[in-house]
Amino acid sequence: MKTATTVLVIALVGAVGAGSYWLGSQSRGAAHSSAEASRETSSAAAPKQRKLLYYRNPMGLADTSPVPKKDPMGMDYIPVYEGEDEATTSAGPGGAGQVRISTEKIQKLGVRTEPAGMRLLGKTIRVAGRIEADERRTFAVTAKFEGYVERLHVSATGQPVAKGQPLFEAYSPELVSAQREYAIAMQGLEAMKEAGTEAQAGMRQLADSSLARLRNWDLSAPQVAALMKSGQPQRTISFPSPVTGIVTEKKALQGMRFMPGETLYQVTDLSAVWVIADVSEQDIALVKSGAKARVTTTAYPNDGFEGRITYVYPTMKAETRSIPVRVELANPGQRLKPAMFAQVELGVGGKSPVLAVPDSAVIDSGTRRIVLVQVGEGRFEPREVELGARAENYVEVLKGVRDGEPVVVAANFLIDAESNLKAAVGSLGGHAGHGSPAAGSPAAASAPPAAPQAKAAPVGHKAEGTVDGVDAKNGTLSLNHGPVAALKWPAMTMEFKAANASLLSGLKPGQAVRFEFVERQPGDFVVTSIAPAGAVPDTAPRARPAAPAASAGRSTHSGH
């Protein structure tokens, strides 16, 4: 009995131990599962650390760095992380030379596109002109013999006259003598009716020569007929007006003596006038004879006079670099007076449709003309184009863009500033890529792989000039600089901002300097380096020591 009890106790102890072991195993498994789940949840909740690729220039220039650094203006380079959609240059197959921008960035920049299309590039050229009399309607009244002004019928300049109206009467001894010769010849011809044929022919020849002499002296047909009828010479001869118009010049005076060929009156027909417009050299190629023109004057600002271009003069005025263009127009009521100033609108061009884009789509660097073509959602391709004729707000494209392709017409300069566009443009002529550290350097061993980049373009524009004024309080200086070929600027005086106050120290008005500047924003020009004319400005960017990865990020600058 005692043995059976002992066996039963041992069995119970073993069962309890096995149950405890099973319960412990289950508890440890549950705890392990709970810990694994907790770790997975914690791992899912923790943000994935982004991989830093490189740092790009804050001004959008084609310059990157594998380590943090500053540009010549003291701004920190901006970090670019893997997977970012912010303004990167495509480098894969089919995307070489393209700029990719996120939809959100496109909306913020206000990017707008318009398709290139065929259109008439007609435009209106507005130039100044002056009213002039039609030279073909101006007549001079002269005498072909010597004589005296016997009587004036028109005695004032500006007096209107009709065609054939007597202007003055003249007495000439030569004229009276010629009339008498003709009268005698006619009388002799009458008396020799019974004479021989040769005698009559001689007298007829004398009469005809006398008559021709009178006609050469501008005796009118009625005056000659009266002389032949009466046989008595007239003491004076009247000079009629050759045209209906205005007496624009009067030199004849009562009783004055005049010589052959001397101008006594000038009569001008003002029923039609000329407008001589001065067209600038750059527009003269568009002006063609026969084109319509609209003329307005200060005297009649609400009235327009329609005319046509009849002649483009073959010479240029060197003083104004303009070519005269003649416009003919009717002058009813003679409201348009010679020597009036006029505003002329010339409709030119537009004979046949050409491929054109808005002029705002063209980025002109001075040496190349670039158009951004949208090739996909958020993807833009810079293309070099050849331009032709220009019209109001549009320019003809000869090469580089096809009909129907959308081009960026708004915010294209902002895309340039927000992206590495210069690297994409550089790929048009060869390999483009981001910079990378020198092989074998510590930075090359520790820095993340850099994206491809084109060769770094020169920073800013260089010029020479003299200091006109310095405003240290506002951080600006006025420079009288020479021509800047890269921007097609002539010599002029303008105000610049200084990248930092130290650039202004030591500058004095009248000092000759050499300087470098960039366009931070449209119309906002900043001097990044300046030195006396004999020295060379220090334009090399100063790098700073590498920062820990945990603190890398975009810095905020008041000047950017």
Q: For 105-137, how does the pLDDT look when each residue is reduced to its tens digit (9 = 90+)?
A: 788 778 889 999 998 887 788 999 999 999 999
Tokens of 454: 């084109």
Q: Is the pLDDT of residue 39 over 70?
A: no
Q: What does the pLDDT look like over 301-356, one tens digit per residue?
A: 899 999 999 999 999 999 989 999 999 999 988 999 999 999 999 887 767 889 99
Looking at domain 461-532, which CATH architecture does it have?
Beta Barrel (2.40)
Tokens representing 530? 């300046």
How many other C-beta atoms can be found within 10 angstroms of the C-beta atom of residue 185? 19
Q: At what angle do helices 197-216 and 221-230 cross, to 10 degrees?
A: 140
- pLDDT over 70 at 9, yes or no: no
Q: How many CB atoms lie within 10 A of CB 254?
A: 11
Classify residue 355 by burial, with Cβ atoms within 10 Å: 0-12, 13-18, 19+.
buried
516: β partners: 462, 529
Name the architecture of domain 102-121+353-418: Beta Barrel (2.40)
The answer to whether residues 441 and 543 touch, using CB atoms and an 8 Å cutoff, is: no
User: Hunting for tokens 């004032």 — which residue is that?
Assistant: 156
Residue range(s) in the chain whose domain bears CATH number 2.40.420.20? 102-121+353-418
- Least Cα distance to 283 among 487, 127, 118 occurs for 127
528: its two tokens: 């990044």
Q: How many CB atoms lie within 10 A of CB 130?
A: 16
Tracing tokens 């000047």 back to the chain, one arrives at 559
User: Considering the entire predicted model, what is its pTM?
Assistant: 0.48
Class of residue 501 by CB neighbours under 10 A (exposed 0-12, middle 13-18, buried 19+) = exposed
Sheet holding 147-152, edge to edge: 236-240, 166-171, 147-152, 257-258
CATH 2.40.50.320 spans which residues of the chain? Answer: 461-532
Confidence of residue 32 (pLDDT cuts 50, 70, 90): very low
Per-residue DSSP letters for 186-225?
A: HHHHHHTTTS-HHHHHHHHHHHHHHHHHHHHTT--HHHHH
In contact, 63 and 458? CB cutoff 8 Å: no
In eight-state DSSP terms, residue 24 is H
Buried b (16+ CB within 10 A) or exposed e, 356-375: bbbebbbbeeeeebbbbbbb
Unique residue bearing structure tokens 């995307």: 95
The pLDDT of residue 420: 53
More confident residue, 103 or 140: 140
Amino acid identity at 285: A
